[in-house]
Copies of this chain bind each other. A is one copy, B any other.
């Protein structure tokens, strides 16, 4: 049972609530006003459901074929045709630069299309997602010749791209990279092994271009000696010396090839300056991490819809309130049971809260890149920089919890493959790990984003919170929510001040409490999302308004109180885990 209805009305609601009109007012995005966006989302949702969803379970069951002889990887039946249809319908080129044949759509729209694609087929969605990362990197750091040569191929979807970062001895710590690049005329020869290469080899595009981190012979040690190269599978139509020598066997995303790639003197082309490769990496991080966060929204959404469908059909036990009992049946629909509702609301309230916050962040991303006013660009850049690690980490964790909660609604049926939620749970779990583990996000927030520019990013965000509270005033239905956001924000600011002091004195404190601090931050950010939504609901009225207010109430009453727990964890400091000898971890 695989069902999905694109949540387009909710998406449109957020576009309005979080100020998408400011993005549409930017000249380069003027073709995408909110009406056009709505039509595009509607079409996109239909396409994803009709074309990609039917392949989702099949891809999970059949997985991938890898030929050890040739290194070729074959995707499950139908994937290649689906990729072609996705290209033809313009979903691959949508976010690409117009001068290279792309749709030039804002990141906000692209994020929503990506949410729908991920919901319908997470494995499949990873291929176009990665290619866009290369487009961004080449746009920022490639030569004009590289742009002219590669970008049209990527934008059109004819070629796909990969990120070759990790090696067996290094994941989080890229300074340990060993892959070598030897100069040879106008190019380089690369040798080394890369692991965890998503869509490193497949049969959906005619060529695959690898974005490879490696060291030149004169590279300084560590992170300051990393250069970036483009290593195509085919150079001038001829095979290059890069080969898929194995596939990982994974818990989920089984139709997404995770390759071990071996290079033996593979031809590569330097991007940007020697030894400055990490700069090219950072270009694509905000967007990539934001999009990974949205995977938690996507899979939480489809799991919710599946669980709701199950609940609407299932009758079990009697309503606790006699007035709600169905006299014509021996048992009542399980939607009468408070706990079933609690589980569904847990998923609904957080999924919509995250979608709103994600759209708000995407809007900042678009403004940070394209707003005509420099101050606005800077402010938006501060916000997206601050929110990116929060979104990547909190959304993936909550998404995992949400899919598990939806599975629970279905009981034993949820544990079987029949309802597919178990697949969504396996698929969603990777989000906590890749694109920088969630703890790396927390360190980025605490160690980098908080102190940046003397704490300016946090001040800008606090200003947004204050503005949201001010904008809500004048309607008594919003007052309890305003008070809750104010309290959460006050607590966050206090804990932030305390942490800034203790972390300055002892770096280990920052490491010990960063993950809890990130979750505390997420609570305020989510409350901000819900107050903005509730405010918009009140102002706009209409059929969704009442439901939005009730869902907001659930969030404030049942979800937000977790902030006290996270604050207590931050305040516990480092002693509980650091006053522990290594031997004490051993099993007694």
Contact = CB atoms under 8 A, between A and B. Distances in A.
What does DSSP make chain A's interface, helix, strand, loop or mixed?
helix
A321 B506 CA distance: 8
Contacts of A408: 432-433, 437-438
Interface residues of A, number: 99
21 contacts: A10-B587, A13-B588, A172-B316, A176-B331, A250-B417, A251-B415, A338-B511, A338-B512, A338-B578, A339-B442, A341-B580, A408-B433, A408-B438, A411-B437, A412-B433, A415-B430, A546-B584, A547-B588, A553-B579, A554-B580, A565-B565
Contact of A339 (B317, B439, B507): B439
A412 B434 CA distance: 7
A317 B10 contact: no
B425 A251 contact: yes
Interface in A427-451: 429-430, 432-434, 437-439, 442-443
Interface string A537-562: 00000001011001001100110011
A377 to B, nearest CB: 32
A580 B346 CA distance: 13
Interface string A560-573: 01101100110010
A171 B510 CA distance: 48
Nearest to A579: B550
A459 interface: no
Interface of A: 5, 7, 9-10, 13, 166, 169-173, 175-176, 195-196, 248-252, 301, 304-305, 308, 315-317, 320-321, 330-331, 335, 337-339, 341-342, 344-345, 348, 400, 404, 407-408, 411-412, 414-418, 422, 425-426, 429-430, 432-434, 437-439, 442-443, 507-508, 510-512, 514-515, 544, 546-547, 550, 553-554, 557-558, 561-562, 564-565, 568-569, 572, 574-580, 582, 584-588
Contact of A572 (B400, B557, B576): B557
B561 A510 contact: no
Contact of A335 (B308, B434, B576, B585): B585
A516 to B, nearest CB: 8
User: Which A-B residue pairs are the 4 nearest by beta carbons?
Assistant: A561-B568, A338-B512, A251-B422, A338-B511
Given A547-B580, A562-B562, 5 more contacts: A175-B331, A338-B578, A408-B433, A544-B588, A554-B576
A10 B433 CA distance: 32
A576 to B, nearest CB: 4
A105 to B, nearest CB: 23
A547 B439 contact: no
A341 B565 CA distance: 19
B166 A412 contact: yes
Contacts of A582: 335
B321 A176 contact: no
Contacts of A434: 412
Contacts of A568: 561, 564
B250 A422 contact: yes
Contact of A173 (B249, B331, B345, B430): B331
Contacts of A429: 404, 407, 415, 425
Contacts of A411: 171-172, 433, 437
Nearest to A581: B547
A499 to B, nearest CB: 13
A561 B564 contact: yes
A495 to B, nearest CB: 13
B339 A305 contact: no
Contacts of A304: 587
Contact of A558 (B316, B576, B584): B576
Nearest to A417: B249
B404 A433 contact: no
A508 B415 CA distance: 27
Contact of A564 (B321, B442, B564, B584): B564
Given A10-B587, A316-B173, A508 B422 contact: no
A109 B564 CA distance: 39
A391 B567 CA distance: 27
Contacts of A557: 572, 575-576
A577 B338 contact: yes
A196 B412 contact: yes
Contact of A170 (B316, B572, B576): B316
A429 B251 CA distance: 14
A553 B250 CA distance: 36
